[in-house]
Structure 1
Amino acid sequence: MALAALLIPGTFVASTAEAKTTAAVACTFTDWVQGQWYTTGSIVKFQGAYYIAEHDNPGYSPTESTWYWDPTSCGDTPPPANCNYPDWVQGQFYATGAIVKFQGAYYIAEHDNPGYSPTESTWYWDPYNCGGTNPPGPGGFPVSEAVFNQMFPSRNSFYTYAGLINALSAYPGFANTGDDTTKKREAAAFLANVNHETGGLVYIKEINEAAYPNYCHPELPYGCPAGQSAYYGRGPLQLSHNFNYKAAGDALGLPLLTNPWLVEQDPAISWKASLWFWNTQTGAGTMTAHNAMVNNQGFGQTIRTINGSIECNGGNPTQVQARVTAYQNFTSRLGVSPGDNLYC
């Protein structure tokens, strides 16, 4: 499937303490440059505001994660003293620089707009750091709806956040096992692989579904009751092959063998089918992706489980790198390090 590469932001200055003092008296810091290495204490100008690097980073966007960047004072543009900004109101006019609260996160208007949703377009709104990180989602899921929308700005409307939250009940241990870092890493790992398989949650099914009749294995006892070419990839992890549809359907209590189209018609079922694979199948690897993350085996093992026979051991390093880059991006958004063993 299509892949998504996500890298971003930076510039250079002295120590953090020295930089914060300097920032208050002079606004001569250079514009952030995508992909440039920034050391702790670097200050850059980005979209009219100033940011200081809290940790070394390879050029991540200043609005991507407060682990790497925080707003800093520079002349007449001090960061907010508190987070008392009003809730966003649909249809209300907002001038450039307006700050609002929306779904537990803060956003700043980059251009005047007549009340567009803060997650609709980064031309009009960008995430804004206001004294903390985004809160977790329903049930303690470590990715809030606001962060989910930021991760997938061009996603197909089929892939709803509500559908994902609904699906979590099928596998309550997912992104809910171990300490907070482990939970966030598992959520990021799942979504990074999803990002890769669907081109950023754009594709619901195989682009050329008719080209995959080999996904049907008629020699199995249950055969291919939905048709010879019915078991092409669908959903966040592109569930494919009649034996996977049969096993997922049995586990979830759904008729997926006879009606595989449910995976491309119902958002919750689509998410559940992918969570079934993530939590219960070893695929081309030796462990489930869930166990790889909760037992600290590393993101690379999730790639091996999902598509290791094609991508790992040098099979397709470009695709592996795309998955790793997305994972690094998503962990940074959640404020955790990616851990070790990123490659397979």
Structure 2
Amino acid sequence: MNFTTPHLRARLAKRPVRTGLVLGAALGVVVGTAFFVVESPEMSLAGDSVGGPITGFAGKCVDVADGNSTSGTTVQLYDCNGTPAQQWSNPGDGTLRAFGKCLDIRGGGTADAADVQLWDCNGGPAQQWVVSQANDIVNPAANKCLDVRAYNSANRTPLQIWPCQGAENEKWYLSGGGSPAPEPDVPPADEGGNGGNGGGGEDESTSGFVVSEAQFNEMFPNRNALYNYEGLKAALSAYPAFATSGDDTVKKREAAAFLANIGHETAGLLYSVEQNTANYSAYCDAAQPYGCPAGQDAYHGRGPIQLSWNYNYKAAGDALGIDLLNNPDLVETDAAVAWKTGLWYWNTQTGPGTMTGHDAIVNGAGFGQTIRTINGALECDGRNPAQVQSRVDSYQHFTQLLGVAPGDNLSC
């Protein structure tokens, strides 16, 4: 396999990109096709007047700049220090308060990247916040999440509102005071072994992922160093529903399905970048308003899904809170970023199919529908049965390794 994969260029080219959360009138949140009800605005803070820290990206806290209680003061990310500037309370009216004033969207704006600030409480929609089950803090009027600008973990980075994408810089952990709640890199583990992992070594109870490092190494013995296990684990927090939805069988099937498909795309995780350099200049769509700031040849295929074209780098980057339009090389140099682009496609894109890869497994449609989502236009419905069978064989091997049945509807 040359890893030129023209099917990926076809399936990613000029198609609508659906990303993020969409808030309904009844404060329901849609993630892909899965629906859940947002929790009550009431938060786990200690009372009406005594609050606690809100911890987020890089383990830092939501902070009122310089401890200044004046209306209009920027709200930012800063090292947690227990000062009054980081004590937030919720009186039960949907507001978040520090120094007796409210977390507010500057100018009452609803546009992407609108700053948040401290302001006199006025009951307006710019001061209403809902905490979702996914640890997002959502402003319903804007249908957007509290977000750390530009995925920057430095002190004094301003907070803003941005379309909800499930990225790490939009996750917040609430405390009732005292030490801030830690930000987990992976879903919390249960005590003891799960008894279902073959291959020895670390299991889900210690890795936070249903595939152990020993199993991963057995799946991909000749993989490129970019695709390391630690990078995969670091990427999981970008899409916390991946391989954590449903029972143990569903979780393992989803992990196996994802890994089988991206393994097929990359010859067993061997290739991290498109091999046919003659194609490199073809992926700049100059008609896009943002152009190709990294250069005409900069948007060729990279990573486990061979992310291609300037508009797809922008879409994936916007979803993940990473500036991939200006820094596309991150997909071939940063393990976590590479994995996140694969998870972005798997969890949010339908390609030539009718559902995401995540939904296909979680909703019981079967592995065959994930093939249709990845490359159905060129492989399914008898177009290339050998390639379909290759994917199915990998999936069956991986599910066997994980100790679960592969389920029905394996082919497309």
Identify if the C-alpha distance between structure 1 residues 161 and 137 changes in structure 2 by more than 3 Å, giving closer, same or farther: farther
Partner of 1:273 in structure 2? 341
Q: Deviations over 1:288-330 (max 9, x none)?
A: 1111110011111111111111211222211111111100100
Alignment partner for residue 313 of structure 2, among 225, 233, 245?
A: 245
Q: What runs of 5+ residues in structure 1 fail to find an aligned partner? A: 4-103, 105-126
Asked if the contact 2:257/2:395 (under 8 Å) is kept, the reply is yes
Shift of 1:216: 2.4
Amino acid at match of 1:248: A
Shift of 1:339: 0.8
- Superposition pairs for residues 249-268 of structure 1, below 5 Å? 249-268=317-336
Alpha-carbon distance between aligned partners in 2 of 1:214 and 1:333, rounded to the nearest angstrom: 40
Alignment partner for residue 392 of structure 2, among 314, 318, 324?
A: 324
Partner of 1:214 in structure 2? 282
Partner of 1:286 in structure 2? 354
Where is the strand percentage greater, Structure 1 or Structure 2?
A: 2
Question: Normalised by the size of structure 1, how large is the TM-score?
Answer: 0.60
Partner of 1:148 in structure 2? 216
Shift of 1:209: 3.1
Alignment partner for residue 182 of structure 1, among 237, 242, 250?
A: 250
Shift of 1:138: 4.6
Is 1:167 the counterpart of 2:224? The answer is no
Alpha-carbon distance between aligned partners in 2 of 1:168 and 1:128, rounded to the nearest angstrom: 21
DSSP 3-state at the match of 1:260: coil
Shift of 1:135: 2.4
Asked if the contact 2:351/2:373 (under 8 Å) is kept, the reply is yes
Partner of 1:79 in structure 2? none
Shift of 1:210: 2.9
Q: What runs of 5+ residues in structure 2 fail to find an aligned partner? A: 4-192
Shift of 1:222: 2.0
Alpha-carbon distance between aligned partners in 1 of 2:199 and 2:344, rounded to the nearest angstrom: 35
Identify if the C-alpha distance between structure 1 residues 177 and 273 changes in structure 2 by more than 3 Å, giving closer, same or farther: same
DSSP 3-state at the match of 2:329: helix
Alpha-carbon distance between aligned partners in 1 of 2:408 and 2:266, rounded to the nearest angstrom: 25
Asked if the contact 1:248/1:273 (under 8 Å) is kept, the reply is yes
Identify if the C-alpha distance between structure 1 residues 146 and 139 changes in structure 2 by more than 3 Å, giving closer, same or farther: closer
Shift of 1:276: 0.7
Alignment partner for residue 302 of structure 1, among 354, 367, 370?
A: 370
Shift of 1:215: 2.6
- Superposition pairs for residues 15-34 of structure 1, below 5 Å? none
Amino acid at match of 1:300: G
Amino acid at match of 2:307: L
Of stretches 180-189 and 301-310 in structure 1, the one that deviates more from structure 2 is 301-310
Shift of 1:137: 6.1
Shift of 1:261: 0.8
Is 1:135 the counterpart of 2:203? The answer is yes
Runs of 4+ in 1 over 4 A off after TM superposition: 127-130
Amino acid at match of 1:169: S
Identify if the C-alpha distance between structure 1 residues 244 and 138 changes in structure 2 by more than 3 Å, giving closer, same or farther: farther
Q: Please, what is the CA RMSD of the aligned residues?
A: 2.2
Alpha-carbon distance between aligned partners in 1 of 2:208 and 2:290, rounded to the nearest angstrom: 39
Alignment partner for residue 225 of structure 1, among 293, 309, 334?
A: 293
Amino acid at match of 2:408: D
Amino acid at match of 2:325: L
Identify if the C-alpha distance between structure 1 residues 139 and 220 changes in structure 2 by more than 3 Å, giving closer, same or farther: same
Alpha-carbon distance between aligned partners in 2 of 1:325 and 1:301, rounded to the nearest angstrom: 15
Identity of aligned residues (%): 65
Identify if the C-alpha distance between structure 1 residues 316 and 216 changes in structure 2 by more than 3 Å, giving closer, same or farther: farther
Shift of 1:134: 6.6
